[in-house]
């Protein structure tokens, strides 16, 4: 009974917060809030999927920028073809998923740090490809030699906010569903020990492949939504290490392998995004230093530390 009421209150509060966030554009909230929350939901979707890989599947994947960039360029191709941008978002997720299946053949032969290194080179290879290749022809724009997306003139900030809110909520509830399913149980066993999981009949390769493909699909759709908002894409930033830093910081600060970790971590990363904007030249360096400090002082992240504190109080 004592445990039931707090759980019910937590669910009720969650529902109320979700409804308020969904209705925020109708409540006349300041425009700046939409930008902050747009980035929060976009980062949350990507961070949840990286948490699924690194936190629950034991896959330190560094190729997430590949999925984000491919999705962004898919939106470019779709909009330049005169098709609705939302088909580009869906198509971006599908293209990212297909690419994940393709690269899984070689990279899944690697283990541990070798897997991380193997996935690290993938976005760099794609960056070079898209610097050399014009996927829709025409003149490249800007110093980054990129493209502006077409057909977005009538798209409002409210609509882009709702798209980000939608993908963020999908990622949140998808994680809850996965972690409470047979896939989640299998991943929990794999995280503890691959060999032990295999010895009790868990198909380690299939479980990891499922998480890799699911992660690529949602990450790709979130990336497509981000570039619909930005309206411009170029290879260096689309496939850049900045995305990897965002995902790692969100999960490590919030708590890697903890369901609510990316929620806290993504909020902190959005704050850092705007606070460190004035340090453009050394932004990544500062984020890297922060990542190391957090890993040293709070290796289980904010939510991990909170859990540890609660456990200490219960014991004493």
Tens of pLDDT, residue by residue, the chain (316 residues): 455 656 677 788 888 989 999 999 888 888 888 999 999 999 999 999 999 999 998 889 999 999 999 999 999 999 999 999 999 999 999 999 999 999 998 999 888 889 999 999 999 999 999 988 888 877 777 656 788 999 888 888 999 999 999 999 999 999 999 999 988 888 888 877 777 788 888 888 899 999 999 999 999 999 999 999 999 999 999 999 999 999 999 999 999 999 999 999 999 999 988 888 887 778 878 888 888 888 888 878 888 877 766 654 545 5
pLDDT for position 311: 57
Cα–Cα distance between 14 and 223 in angstroms, integer?
26
State residue 168's pLDDT score: 97
Tokens of residue 94, six digits: 């599908």
Q: What span, in angstroms and rounded, lies between the C-alpha atoms of 160 and 265?
A: 22
Q: Using an 8 Å Cβ cutoff, are 120 and 63 in contact?
A: yes
Distance CA(184)–CA(57), nearest Å, equals 9
C-alpha torsion 201→119→54→283, nearest 10? 180
CA distance 124 to 57: 24
Helix or strand or coil: residue 232? strand
**What pLDDT was estimated at residue 73?**
96
Tell me 230's DSSP state: H
Residue 194 pLDDT: 78
Distance, CA of 76 to CA of 309 (rounded, Å): 48
Report in angstroms the alpha-carbon separations of 27 from 22, 51, 77, 301: 10, 33, 35, 34
Half-sphere exposure of 129 (CA within 13 A, CB side): 13
For residue 172, CA distances in Å to 89, 119, 167, 218, 283 come to 19, 25, 9, 11, 28
- pLDDT confidence of residue 5: 55
Angle, helices 31-50 vs 241-254, to 10°: value is 80
Report the alpha-carbon distance of residue 119 to residue 232 in Å, rounded: 26
Which pLDDT belongs to residue 103? 95
Quick one: pLDDT at residue 273? 87
**Within 10 A of 240 (CB to CB), how many other CB atoms are there?**
18
Q: Is 83 helix (H, G, I), strand (E, B) or coil?
A: coil
E strands, 96-190, are 147-148
Degrees to nearest 5, angle at CA 168 with 156 and 261: 140
CA pair distance 208, 213, nearest whole angstrom: 9
Q: What is the pLDDT of residue 211?
A: 94
pTM: 0.91
Altogether, the residues listed in the chain come to a count of 316
The domain made up of 30-315 has a fold known as: ABC transporter involved in vitamin B12 uptake, BtuC (1.10.3470)
Are 130 and 76 within 8 A, CB to CB?
no
Q: What pLDDT score does 6 carry?
A: 64
Rounded Cα distance, 127 and 145, in Å? 12
Dihedral sign, CA of 215, 217, 223, 229?
Answer: negative
pLDDT at residue 312, rounded to an integer: 47
């Amino acid at each position: 009974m004592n445990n039931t009421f707090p759980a019910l209150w937590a669910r009720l509060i969650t529902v109320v917060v979700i409804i308020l966030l969904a209705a925020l554009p109708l409540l006349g909230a300041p425009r700046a809030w939409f930008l902050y929350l747009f980035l929060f939901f976009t980062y949350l979707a990507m961070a949840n999927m990286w948490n699924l890989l690194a936190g629950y599947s034991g896959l330190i994947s560094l190729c997430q920028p590949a999925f984000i960039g491919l999705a962004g360029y898919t939106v470019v191709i779709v909009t330049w073809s005169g098709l609705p941008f939302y088909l580009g978002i869906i198509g971006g997720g599908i293209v990212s998923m297909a690419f994940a299946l393709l690269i899984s053949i070689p990279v899944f032969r690697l283990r541990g740090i070798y897997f991380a290194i193997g996935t690290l080179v993938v976005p760099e290879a794609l960056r070079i490809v898209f610097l050399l290749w014009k996927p829709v022809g025409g003149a490249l724009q800007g110093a980054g030699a990129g493209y502006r997306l077409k057909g977005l003139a009538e798209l409002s900030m409210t609509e882009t906010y709702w798209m980000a809110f939608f993908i963020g909520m999908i990622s949140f509830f998808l994680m809850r569903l996965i972690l409470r399913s047979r896939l989640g149980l299998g991943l929990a066993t794999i995280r503890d020990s691959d060999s032990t999981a295999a010895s009790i009949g868990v198909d380690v390769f299939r479980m990891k492949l499922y998480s890799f493909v699911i992660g690529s699909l949602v990450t790709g759709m979130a990336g497509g939504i981000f570039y619909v908002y930005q309206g411009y894409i170029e290879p260096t930033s689309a496939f850049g290490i900045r995305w990897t830093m965002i995902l790692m910081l969100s999960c490590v600060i919030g708590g890697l392998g903890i369901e609510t970790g990316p929620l806290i971590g993504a909020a902190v990363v959005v704050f850092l995004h705007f606070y460190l904007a004035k340090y453009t030249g050394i932004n990544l360096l500062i984020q890297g230093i922060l990542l190391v400090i957090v890993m040293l002082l709070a290796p289980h992240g904010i939510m991990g530390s909170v859990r540890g504190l609660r456990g200490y109080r219960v014991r004493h």
